[in-house]
C-alpha cells in the first residue's frame, strides 16, 4: 500500500482552496488541479509499506491538544503550486512527533524538511510563468480546528489519484 499521514481538511477549508484554484483558472493557469476530495495537508509521506497497523500504532502514540489551522500565502516548489498554512508551533510539533515515531519504529518515510502546504496544482503554468497576484484573497478567512490526524492510502484510479482514509 502507498501510505501517508495527513490532516483531512473540513469543508470550509476545501471550499476556500477551490476558490483559489478557480481564481487561478480565471487568470489563465493551466495544469493538473487537485480535486476537491483530495485536498489535504501531508504530515509524513511513507510510500509503499505493507503494515498499516504498525503506522496506526505510531499515530496513536502522538498526543496533542487540538489547534487552529489557517491558510496563509501561496507558493511553489517548481511547477507544483500550493497554499500555505500558518505553520503554527502545534502543527510543527505534531509533524515532528510523527516523524520521530516513524523513524524509531524503522518505518521508511520521506525525510524532506516539513513545509506545511496543500497542493493546489501540479505541472502548473501561467501566461507570465508566475502565480497570479491576489488569488489568496478569494479564500476568505478559512480555518479549522485540527483534533485528529489520519492514515491515508493512495491508489491510482482511472481519473487520477484516489485517497482513502484508513483511520
Looking at the whole model, is its pTM more than 0.85?
yes
Task: Say whether pLDDT at 9 is over 90.
Answer: yes
Distances (CA, A) of 81 to 3, 34, 47, 65, 144: 22, 10, 21, 30, 22
Residues 122, 50: contact at Cβ < 8 Å? no
Give per-residue pLDDT as tens, 13-32: 999 999 999 999 999 999 99
46/55 Cα distance (integer angstroms): 9
Count up the domains in the chain and report the number: 1
Q: What is the CATH number of the domain that holds 159?
A: 3.90.1140.10
State which residues form the domain around 13. 2-165
Amino acid at each position: 500500500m502507498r501510505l501517508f499521514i495527513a490532516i483531512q481538511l473540513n469543508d470550509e477549508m476545501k471550499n476556500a482552496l477551490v476558490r483559489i484554484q478557480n481564481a487561478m483558472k480565471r487568470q489563465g493557469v493551466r495544469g493538473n488541479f487537485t480535486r476537491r476530495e483530495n485536498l489535504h495537508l501531508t504530515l509524513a509521506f511513507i510510500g509503499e509499506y505493507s503494515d498499516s497497523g504498525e503506522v496506526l500504532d505510531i499515530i496513536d502514540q502522538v498526543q496533542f491538544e487540538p489547534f487552529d489551522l489557517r491558510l496563509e500565502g501561496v507558493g511553489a516548489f517548481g511547477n507544483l503550486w500550493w497554499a500555505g498554512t500558518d505553520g503554527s508551533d502545534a502543527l510543527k510539533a505534531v509533524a515532528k512527533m510523527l516523524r520521530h515515531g516513524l523513524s524509531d519504529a524503522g518505518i521508511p518515510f520521506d525525510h524532506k524538511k516539513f513545509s506545511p502546504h496543500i497542493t493546489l496544482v501540479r505541472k502548473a503554468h501561467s501566461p507570465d510563468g508566475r502565480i497570479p497576484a491576489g488569488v489568496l484573497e478569494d479564500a476568505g478567512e478559512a480555518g479549522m480546528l485540527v483534533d485528529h490526524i489520519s492514515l491515508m492510502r493512495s491508489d491510482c484510479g482511472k481519473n487520477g489519484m484516489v485517497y482513502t482514509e484508513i483511520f
